Structure 1
């Protein structure tokens, strides 16, 4: 990388307000799976799923605190890619940035396809490819306007999810305690242990769900990417991260607690979405339509976040010298227009591939995406440890948002991720990611040396 480049001096507009960051920190942890896939997850995990979400939530909280420490000191949208370049060398920054970029591109390929499916609920005659194309074009335009436009869309998308979950939890608690919708007879919480106990599948079954929990939290690290365009990052980033843990407890564990109290866990897979069922019991005829609207906005939110993130990653990779210089230019609105457009174009290719390529192609793409989330979190912990080694005891005392109980919490976060990788090796569905992920990294390393980037990216950590 040219010595003139500075991955910590991006020049982006700080247009994201605290309310944007707060809602995005929630939205990043809540995906479509909670609304539509929770029944299948519970069927696989049993009531012990509550415990695995708590374990995963605590581990991810420590990972976010490590990211937050670096993000407050160096608030850039390149985030962990920039930190990897500074603290672990240019190759680490290159691998982290491009893997995370592909992670979100792959996610958006799946999400825009999902948008087409959800729209068919109301308009079954509209071709799916038209809806997918429209979603990408719309979200791309939003991201090109200004970062504040992205923030506004994410704020309202996240608010829709939050309101839906809170309403469902409140209704569920009224059913459990006072028999609302059940003829006035309280349902209670005995379903949590009346069908084989809290651990009907022994400890192995419980551990196997840690992978599912880890993937459910994919995107939570988006807080770090928003740091480069957040107003007052010294305040907004710590405030958002510190609230992540109890929000996970409320929105995930609270919702699942209510669902498994209302319905026998081993019968859920046969009744469809528990959210729809719960609203139906109150006589809300439009329940299915309401939940379909929520998952539609959730998919659009993911696409919006993906376009935002991939554009910023290409921008910072360009500053590092790891991507073409064209991606390092900002538009008049101070957004990385070239990076946004390039990423959106690749996502369009994904829409086409969805119709012409074999299903195995998408299995591979999804595997790299899943591997990318775990790899990114590991790199966050690796970079954080590297950043601490460069600090004197006096500098550590002056940190504005230090990782609590370091290094023990660092060991917990890293150990959780390693455990997830080990568990993935024993499941045929996730073993693909363990095989394809390293192949992807080797291909990147081949490109790194093949294009001579090892000679061009001579980075001194003190210079960036």
Structure 2
């Protein structure tokens, strides 16, 4: 084990830039876009723009906080400084749970995607294979994690750009499909921009917000990035243009080729577009892309949970063994522990009823909103308590403090929207149990630690 208790700065600029893109583009775009379009019609574009702007300002707040102290390894470090140890404990373990649930869902999905080509292999075999490969790569060096995410993100980018370029050519040429002629007018001639009314537009935010879960992952790379003062601002500032190109661009092309009401909500719109071109392997191509996307999410889950455990351990909010590093300065115990929990979760997925698994992932989505809210609140505290440090910042969040309160109001709006949905409503009532349980555990640990300190004082 390494005596140096600092993480290695092995992530280069290209790793962080592609990590920022990968975090902003989820599997939901490839598989879930059809359902989102079916729900909101063309107004889904506005949902993505609004949520994208909100996420950009969250990232600006996160970036300003991380760069205010280069000793911060993750956002749990500044939560400790500005909201106290109790808040850091709850935030850190909540974020750990968020990514564990994402990783277990995507690891299960990876097995199913591989089964598409090898239907006779039990689903757990490819899932286990993917986990072992990702674990080995994460244990070796952070640079290998960066390389994996670089190529995973690149595959997603190539698929989206391929759709946009081919689709734009089809629209310009007036390519005919079974749903009519490809044209930009298809965006508004089938019931206008809000064909399902304001309610469809409002309900779409639940899917759109979930699509951006993971965008904050760049914030966990601060302690392992070369030249963070240059690399992180560049990655964050490029987020809006990337969202416009990859989300808005892809959706405009899809709905121009196929009118929104002709898109099958149960299949990938990418498959529909590639299939109409006569590409026989369209389904296999998209399956490969979503496989890499799922593997990427699981890879990010192993990375983020291990780094969060490392940060928690440094503040004595996790077992001390979790802050031990290898000779490559990788938190091996934390990485192994997270991988084992992810594996157990996949096994439990077979034993437990499906409803319980859906409930767990629904709770994690509420928790992501909580994490983002904590980041924004910490930014408010930072600006208020450190005005001199804030004034010297080279990466200030614009429109402070108005935008902070707008973001918090937006989160309240999303929670109300989630309460309107049958599948996520139950999680809204169960989620407080998670936070209460964490609060009780923290109180017990704090009381135990105090008693141990009192015993040492009496002995002395």
Same fold per TM (> 0.5)?
Answer: yes
2:455 corresponds in structure 1 to none
Aligned residues: 447
Query: Is 2:72–2:78's contact at 8 Å kept on the other side of the alignment?
Result: no
Q: How does 1:165-176 map to 2 (within 5 A)?
A: 165-176=160-171
Are 2:443 and 1:449 equivalent residues in the alignment?
yes
Of 404, 408, 411, the match for 2:405:
411
Once structures 1 and 2 are overlaid, which stretch shifts more, 266-275 or 62-71?
266-275
Q: Secondary structure, in 3 states, of the residue corresponding to 1:48?
A: helix
Q: How does 1:270-309 map to 2 (within 5 A)?
A: 272-309=267-304
Q: Point out where structure 2 has 5 or more consecutive residues left out of the alignment.
A: 452-460
Are 2:300 and 1:344 equivalent residues in the alignment?
no
User: 1:122-169, CA deviations, whole angstroms, 9 ceiling, x for partnerless residues?
Assistant: 111111011111111111111000000000000000000001101101
Pairwise CA RMSD: 1.9
- 1:77 deviates by 6.7
Once structures 1 and 2 are overlaid, which stretch shifts more, 418-427 or 345-354?
418-427
- 1:396 deviates by 2.3
Once structures 1 and 2 are overlaid, which stretch shifts more, 262-271 or 33-42?
262-271
Q: Secondary structure, in 3 states, of the residue corresponding to 2:24?
A: coil
Are 2:47 and 1:70 equivalent residues in the alignment?
no
1:153 corresponds in structure 2 to 148
User: 1:274-324, CA deviations, whole angstroms, 9 ceiling, x for partnerless residues?
Assistant: 211212222221111111110000010001100000000001100111100
Q: Which runs of 4+ in 1 moved over 6 A?
A: none
Are 2:400 and 1:398 equivalent residues in the alignment?
no
Are 2:374 and 1:379 equivalent residues in the alignment?
yes
Structure 1 residues 76 and 359: alpha-carbon distance in aligned structure 2, compared to 1, 3 A threshold: farther
Structure 1 residues 271 and 382: alpha-carbon distance in aligned structure 2, compared to 1, 3 A threshold: closer
- 1:349 deviates by 0.6
Q: Supply the distance in 1 between the matched residues of 2:83 and 2:167 (Cα, whole angstroms).
A: 48
Once structures 1 and 2 are overlaid, which stretch shifts more, 370-379 or 191-200?
191-200
Q: How does 1:241-256 map to 2 (within 5 A)?
A: 241-256=236-251
User: 1:78-126, CA deviations, whole angstroms, 9 ceiling, x for partnerless residues?
Assistant: 4221111110000110011000001101111111110111001111111
Q: Supply the distance in 1 between the matched residues of 2:256 and 2:314 (Cα, whole angstroms).
A: 52
Query: Is 2:107–2:298's contact at 8 Å kept on the other side of the alignment?
Result: yes
Q: Supply the distance in 2 between the matched residues of 1:197 and 1:189 (Cα, whole angstroms).
A: 13
Query: Is 1:326–1:338's contact at 8 Å kept on the other side of the alignment?
Result: yes
User: 1:398-436, CA deviations, whole angstroms, 9 ceiling, x for partnerless residues?
Assistant: 102110121122122222112111211222222122112
- 1:177 deviates by 1.1
Query: Is 2:19–2:150's contact at 8 Å kept on the other side of the alignment?
Result: yes
Once structures 1 and 2 are overlaid, which stretch shifts more, 59-68 or 366-375?
366-375
User: 1:161-180, CA deviations, whole angstroms, 9 ceiling, x for partnerless residues?
Assistant: 00110110111111111235
Q: Secondary structure, in 3 states, of the residue corresponding to 1:221?
A: helix
Query: Is 2:73–2:221's contact at 8 Å kept on the other side of the alignment?
Result: no
Query: Is 1:322–1:453's contact at 8 Å kept on the other side of the alignment?
Result: no
User: 1:16-54, CA deviations, whole angstroms, 9 ceiling, x for partnerless residues?
Assistant: 000000000000011111111111111111110000100
1:98 corresponds in structure 2 to 93
2:43 corresponds in structure 1 to 48
Query: Is 1:80–1:379's contact at 8 Å kept on the other side of the alignment?
Result: no
1:264 corresponds in structure 2 to 259
Q: Supply the distance in 1 between the matched residues of 2:425 and 2:14 (Cα, whole angstroms).
A: 39
Of 17, 27, 44, the match for 1:32:
27
Query: Is 2:39–2:196's contact at 8 Å kept on the other side of the alignment?
Result: no
- 1:269 deviates by 1.8
2:363 corresponds in structure 1 to 368
1:164 corresponds in structure 2 to 159
Are 2:65 and 1:80 equivalent residues in the alignment?
no
Structure 1 residues 270 and 30: alpha-carbon distance in aligned structure 2, compared to 1, 3 A threshold: closer
Structure 1 residues 445 and 346: alpha-carbon distance in aligned structure 2, compared to 1, 3 A threshold: same
Q: Point out where structure 1 has 5 or more consecutive residues left out of the alignment.
A: 1-8, 458-464
Q: Supply the distance in 2 between the matched residues of 1:329 and 1:387 (Cα, whole angstroms).
A: 30
User: 1:239-266, CA deviations, whole angstroms, 9 ceiling, x for partnerless residues?
Assistant: 0000001111110111111111111212
1:59 corresponds in structure 2 to 54
Query: Is 1:77–1:226's contact at 8 Å kept on the other side of the alignment?
Result: no
Query: Is 1:80–1:96's contact at 8 Å kept on the other side of the alignment?
Result: no
1:238 corresponds in structure 2 to 233
Q: Secondary structure, in 3 states, of the residue corresponding to 1:348?
A: helix
Q: TM-score, normalised by structure 1?
A: 0.93
Once structures 1 and 2 are overlaid, which stretch shifts more, 353-362 or 219-228?
353-362
1:462 corresponds in structure 2 to none
Q: Secondary structure, in 3 states, of the residue corresponding to 2:204?
A: helix
Once structures 1 and 2 are overlaid, which stretch shifts more, 441-450 or 188-197?
188-197
Q: Secondary structure, in 3 states, of the residue corresponding to 1:269?
A: coil
Q: Supply the distance in 2 between the matched residues of 1:261 and 1:274 (Cα, whole angstroms).
A: 12
Structure 1 residues 213 and 270: alpha-carbon distance in aligned structure 2, compared to 1, 3 A threshold: closer
1:431 corresponds in structure 2 to 425
Are 2:315 and 1:320 equivalent residues in the alignment?
yes
Q: TM-score, normalised by structure 2?
A: 0.94
Q: Supply the distance in 1 between the matched residues of 2:217 and 2:27 (Cα, whole angstroms).
A: 17
- 1:71 deviates by 1.4
